[in-house]
Structure 1
Amino acid sequence: MPAPGPSPTLLDAVFAQRGRHAPGLVGDGFSHSHDQVFRAACARAALLVRLLAEQRAPYPHVGLLLDNTPEYAYWLQACALAGATAVGINPTRRGPDLLRDIRHTDCALVVTGRRRLPLLDGLALTVPVLDSDSDGPGYAALLAEHRDAAPPAVLPAPDTRVLLTFTSGSTGAPKAVVCSQQRLARAGDKLRTMYRLTADDTGYACMPLFHGNATMALWAPMLLAGGTVALRPVFSASGFLEDVRRYRAGYFTYVGRAISYVLATEERPDDADSPLRLGFGTEAGAVDAARFEARFGCRLVEGYGSSEGGCNLRQDPAAPAGAVGREGSGPDDDLAVVDPETGEERPRSRFDASGRLLNGAEAIGELVNRTARAGFEGYWRNPEAGAARVRRGWYWTGDLFHRDAEGWFHFAGRSADWLRVDSENLAVADIENILGRWPEAEAVAVYAVPDPVAGDQVMAAVQLRPGADTVAAGLARRLAEFLAAQPDLGTKMPPRFVRFVARMPATATHKTAKTGLRAERWRTDDPVLWRPYGTAADAGAGYRPLTGDDLEKIDALFAEHGRTAWS
């Protein structure tokens, strides 16, 4: 058997589109061939080079504040051709936080569309903003000048930075993860090979392209395979099956609760009649994954990883219940569970006959990759965070795991200072700072509580100021009105549960003691307001008092998904 050839580069895949008339990008109302995509990318690369020269920008960074439209794919490839960096701007960020993200990543220009343009209103931006939906003389006229542009004469090297992807750390504002062309190509080629994606396949991009899941696990592997990418502007559970049938999509990616939202749609006798064969993602939950396969005839492959790329685990069919995986992302990975303070490897975990962990206190530690850097390329303008991530020559994930006697890794939780909602990491400090502005709040503590399906939900404990009106109905209304008025409150930040304590628990050093709050969850004699679980669009729902009937329904919801809130 001949030895495998060298792995393709990102530019190899971009240039392979030239002259190909098979569909490259499809979606509602459009179908563009690979050659059309290539020409569109060349035009934008030429425009980009011109604008950067006019700006005399110190960094060739392009902020993409876009839904999943052809423009997003065009600009990703334009950046690759021009040696520039695409910055995925998270549209759930608001006001000062959104402005901070754009400034922190040194964007020389921002490309947006009609739906997202209002998010920039009132922000003190000092860089050009291109409205890609404009019918006026601006964007269209600029592109017309470069319609027949050739690819750049000098092409970037494989180690050129091509992406900055935001991810939240344990404290402070989101960090921008650096990703080079060669790392993006490696990630895409690995999945292309693993899941046997070819030019005949269509990948359904229903997750936002600003997120590493869609860019690294769908767009990149489909580009390297020469296949078709079907774009959904924003995720729609009700439109999911119709889309995959219309575009003949066999592969898709997902994060967070997307799978549970699809499962919540009305069942039909022909649900399994679709081309879907594989979904790849995180946090679907074992129960929902089994239900999805039974209903739609499509296997879900769960993985553990991060935008940083320092450690990745993928689900193995042979894994015992609850295990994430046993091997790392590369043949040279050296994964271990260690004491976060000493670096000493933790003892292997042991279980009783019912599968309950017996020695969690000694077995649980932080997951590390002891391979130097392990593919991590750093954070933009945040060397301190990068140094914290890479210590002793190891990559530290910041996540808690334990490893059993057979070598299987089991996820045990996340750092107490951050949480993960719908596969988006949120810094506790950011939410506490916002809630702390509420005039009625004397003290605030925010912490993670389990979600019935996967990941976390946001819970807050609030100590009210003396004399505050504590009538539940009025309190719920005023809290909802306050949160709705905060310009920097992201769509995933509003607490699911708000507990009102007479006095905030504190340690001897006067720090807020969250351990007891987190352990009690929502089962407490203190008054609790909550936003009931519902559809994906319930973030704006009002608060109401948590009742005994609600508690029973919550327990039943956890049981339905094979989970417990009290483990």
Structure 2
Amino acid sequence: MRSADTVAELVRRQWGDHRTGLRDEHHTLTHHQVAAGAAARAALLVDLMPPVPRGEPHLGILLDNTPEYPLWLSAAALAGAAVAGINPTRRGPELARDILHTECRVLVTQRAHLPLLDGLALPGLRILVTDTEAYRELLAPYGNARPGDATLGPVRPDSRFLLSFTSGSTGAPKAALCSQGRLAAAGASLVAHFSVGRDDVHYVCMPMFHGNAVIADWAPALAAGAGVALRARFSASRFLPDVRRFGATYFTYVGRAVQYLLATPPGPDDRAHPLRLGFGTEAGAVDAARFRERFGVPLVEGYGSSEGGAAIQRTPDTPTGAIGRAAPGDDLAVVAADTGVECAPARFSPTGRLLNAAEAVGELVNRGRSPFEGYWRNPEAEAARLRGGWYWTGDLFYRDADGFLYFAGRTDDRLRVDGENLAAAMIENILARWDRAAGVAVYAIPDPVTGDQVMAALTLREGADFEPAAFAGFLATQPDLGTKMAPRFVRVLPELPLTATNKIHRVALRRTSFRCPDPVWWRPAPDAPYEPLTRAALDALRAHYTRHGRPEAYG
């Protein structure tokens, strides 16, 4: 079967297919029922929001991962509307800003999220509440609709389809645009790369308002005619029971979700399931190896974003720790952010330590034709991405002599310690080897004089304690831990703070620094043993920052 040009075409292909297509804890729908439900919602949508003078009208979805989410995605594709995924962890003016900024004319939500909208000024917005009798009555007259019966205008490959918000941890979230053609192509590419078939079942446990779940999980299932199983919100304890219940074979993840799964109590039947593959980002080589050893499932690290500006493809010969090479047709380079000059190839010690990080680590850019389709109503952010005719990813990488690319963190996660540039992700991968660590985050805090110091936040495995001598001993035995990499401050906390997409919220960690309610251990001097950070030590640190003219860096 030829690849589809649009998401709408993929939805139409489900018509007449009576295999199981969509499930959650409470519902089971065939592919045909999904197409019929999407057609009914598309007809309702056309009646609720007539065409706009230019472009596609916008529908907001403020839902957990219920069957209504993929049904409304499919409906929008058929109708020729665009979907803005609204983040339910946003509050008050920030939530209103997201809805108003994307000019949503209809918002689909559920009763549990109605309190989030209380008191918000949302003029002209029509709100549909899916788990109500009024909604069912509103939808009932459209029950005989067929895919394609009702559209708001021509549906083409370049029709705007998704407005996916970035995390917004350092400012107002940007809404990245994705067309029907790009999403259909992304789905087809993953189908080919992972040999997804009609008998596969994709377990969608990451939030569907984010590109991870829609682009990397739902779209390839739709492209292959595979089944979709939903979990309303990610649950580590329900993961394996869900996989077994739904017969799931594929799932997507972010690194912190993998750590949560590894923190669940081991069982004798951990490998008794049909899962064959996990695809995601930022799991780290150590956690990926632990996951495969325990559950028998390989985790394939990918690279991409809602913006779609650059893609890295993993091949069978990809070395441990690398993401892969540039996808065919992409001209990817690692360059110095200030000059644009290409960085030197990475050199490694026999133990795998990166020997020339200062020369090799830089920002990943796409110097060729980029599929980036822009941000909604944000020309400044677009210009920042497309500088000098290149697409700048905002991510740090290094590249070996064979062209394999290694992720080194976000540009915001770079540290400069004693004049040496370090990448947080590289240090995290080392600290994750400590057998007492369940979760690790590394981030920069200001040095009293200049540059940064390394701080780490740790969560511990069940029953483990933080013993400073044991931690220092572990650090001393790591052959690839550079002399500037050892954390000066270590915060031990019950859980790492997360963003709405289950990524570690480093902004929150940097903001609180070592002035936090959790136990913090520190080294008063580089070679000193770790000791508790006491009130007296905090006072001395404050005085040190002040003496060197950086009291604001202390906070």
The 8 Å contact of residues 349 and 357 in structure 1, kept in 2 or not, is answered as yes
Task: Specify which of 381, 384, 391 is matched with residue 395 of structure 1.
Answer: 391
Are 1:532 and 2:530 matched, yes or no? no
Query: Structure 2 length as normaliser, TM-score?
Result: 0.77
SS in 2 for 1:257: helix
Deviation, 1:516, is 4.0
Are 1:25 and 2:17 matched, yes or no? no
Percent identity, aligned pairs only?
Answer: 53
What amino acid does structure 2 have at the position aligned with 1:523?
A: R
Describe the shift of the 1:397–1:55 C-alpha distance in structure 2 as closer, same or farther (beyond 3 A): closer
Task: Specify which of 127, 136, 140 is matched with residue 140 of structure 1.
Answer: 136
The 8 Å contact of residues 315 and 324 in structure 2, kept in 1 or not, is answered as yes
SS in 2 for 1:239: helix
| Deviation string, structure 1 residues 267-323 (Cα, Å, up to 9, x no partner) | 111211110111111111211211211222211111122111111224444233332
Deviation, 1:521, is 8.9
Query: Structure 1 length as normaliser, TM-score?
Result: 0.75
The separation in 2 between residues aligned to 1:404 and 1:277, in whole angstroms, is 29
Describe the shift of the 1:55–1:122 C-alpha distance in structure 2 as closer, same or farther (beyond 3 A): farther
The separation in 2 between residues aligned to 1:387 and 1:265, in whole angstroms, is 44
Equivalent position of 1:546 in the other structure = 519
What amino acid does structure 2 have at the position aligned with 1:393?
A: G
Map 1:65-76 onto structure 2 (within 5 A): 65-76=62-73
Equivalent position of 2:293 in the other structure = 294
Give the length in aligned residue pairs. Answer: 468
Task: Specify which of 33, 46, 51 is matched with residue 48 of structure 2.
Answer: 51
The separation in 1 between residues aligned to 2:298 and 2:158, in whole angstroms, is 35
Deviation, 1:355, is 2.2
The 8 Å contact of residues 307 and 374 in structure 2, kept in 1 or not, is answered as yes
Deviation, 1:356, is 2.2
Deviation, 1:505, is 5.0
Greater shift in the superposed pair: 119-128 or 208-217: 119-128
What amino acid does structure 2 have at the position aligned with 1:134?
A: T
The 8 Å contact of residues 166 and 175 in structure 2, kept in 1 or not, is answered as yes
The 8 Å contact of residues 255 and 284 in structure 1, kept in 2 or not, is answered as yes
Describe the shift of the 1:383–1:133 C-alpha distance in structure 2 as closer, same or farther (beyond 3 A): same
Deviation, 1:156, is 0.8
Deviation, 1:170, is 8.4
Are 1:160 and 2:122 matched, yes or no? no
SS in 1 for 2:412: coil
Task: Specify which of 365, 368, 373 is matched with residue 365 of structure 2.
Answer: 368
SS in 2 for 1:380: coil
Q: Which runs of 5+ in 1 are unaligned?
A: 420-446, 462-503, 507-512, 555-567
Task: Specify which of 3, 12, 30 is matched with residue 15 of structure 1.
Answer: 12
Equivalent position of 2:352 in the other structure = 355
The 8 Å contact of residues 454 and 485 in structure 2, kept in 1 or not, is answered as yes
The separation in 2 between residues aligned to 1:215 and 1:54, in whole angstroms, is 25
The separation in 2 between residues aligned to 1:522 and 1:72, in whole angstroms, is 43
Equivalent position of 1:323 in the other structure = 322
Equivalent position of 2:458 in the other structure = none
SS in 1 for 2:307: coil
Describe the shift of the 1:332–1:198 C-alpha distance in structure 2 as closer, same or farther (beyond 3 A): same
Task: Specify which of 515, 521, 542 is matched with residue 452 of structure 2.
Answer: 515
Are 1:150 and 2:146 matched, yes or no? yes
Map 1:160-239 onto structure 2 (within 5 A): 160-168=159-167, 171-239=170-238
The 8 Å contact of residues 171 and 418 in structure 1, kept in 2 or not, is answered as no
The separation in 2 between residues aligned to 1:418 and 1:348, in whole angstroms, is 19
Task: Specify which of 374, 377, 387 is matched with residue 378 of structure 1.
Answer: 374
Greater shift in the superposed pair: 356-365 or 26-35: 356-365
The 8 Å contact of residues 59 and 106 in structure 1, kept in 2 or not, is answered as no
Describe the shift of the 1:296–1:8 C-alpha distance in structure 2 as closer, same or farther (beyond 3 A): farther
Describe the shift of the 1:185–1:65 C-alpha distance in structure 2 as closer, same or farther (beyond 3 A): same
Deviation, 1:160, is 0.3
The 8 Å contact of residues 366 and 396 in structure 1, kept in 2 or not, is answered as yes
The 8 Å contact of residues 55 and 108 in structure 1, kept in 2 or not, is answered as no
Equivalent position of 1:263 in the other structure = 262
The separation in 2 between residues aligned to 1:415 and 1:91, in whole angstroms, is 27
Describe the shift of the 1:52–1:418 C-alpha distance in structure 2 as closer, same or farther (beyond 3 A): farther
Equivalent position of 2:463 in the other structure = none
Equivalent position of 2:129 in the other structure = 131
Equivalent position of 1:242 in the other structure = 241
The separation in 2 between residues aligned to 1:269 and 1:404, in whole angstroms, is 40
What amino acid does structure 1 have at the position aligned with 2:254?
A: V
Alignment root-mean-square deviation, CA: 3.4
The 8 Å contact of residues 35 and 147 in structure 2, kept in 1 or not, is answered as no
The separation in 2 between residues aligned to 1:457 and 1:353, in whole angstroms, is 25
Describe the shift of the 1:553–1:49 C-alpha distance in structure 2 as closer, same or farther (beyond 3 A): farther
Equivalent position of 2:106 in the other structure = 109
Map 1:465-544 onto structure 2 (within 5 A): 515-516=452-453, 523=488, 531-533=493-495, 544=517
Are 1:121 and 2:118 matched, yes or no? yes
Describe the shift of the 1:290–1:317 C-alpha distance in structure 2 as closer, same or farther (beyond 3 A): farther
The 8 Å contact of residues 492 and 520 in structure 2, kept in 1 or not, is answered as no
Equivalent position of 2:474 in the other structure = none
SS in 1 for 2:326: coil
The separation in 2 between residues aligned to 1:96 and 1:517, in whole angstroms, is 35
What amino acid does structure 1 have at the position aligned with 2:302?
A: G
